[in-house]
Amino acid sequence: MWAQQNSKIEIEEVALIINGSEVACHNRNKVRGNSLTIETIELYHFDNGRLTVRYFIHQP
């Protein structure tokens, strides 16, 4: 997904919280070329070389 959307999105990192092997991010994803902004909360968990990601997306 990211490889296809990378050039279309500008990401503003609103907040980044690291707690051991877990990370929580609040991102503001701005779609280039228009005024659409998509707010996300992203949770990352690292465990024995494995990455798990959860996305919570708010679209107006």
Domain that holds residue 22: 7-53
Tell me, yes or no, whether 59 lies in a domain: no
- Residue pLDDT, tens place only, 15-60: 999 999 999 999 999 999 999 999 999 999 999 999 999 999 997 7
Give long-range contacts, CB 8 A cutoff, 24+ apart: 24-33: 32/7, 32/8, 33/8
Alpha carbon 19 to its chain centroid, in Å, reads: 17
Residue 58 lies in a domain: no
**Alpha-carbon distance 22 to 41, whole Å?**
13
Overall pTM > 0.85: no
Within-domain flag for 1: no
Residue 35: φ, ψ to 5°:
-95, 5
pLDDT at 7: 87
Domain count, the chain: 1
Q: Domain for residue 23, yes or no?
A: yes
Task: Indicate whether 16 belongs to any domain.
Answer: yes
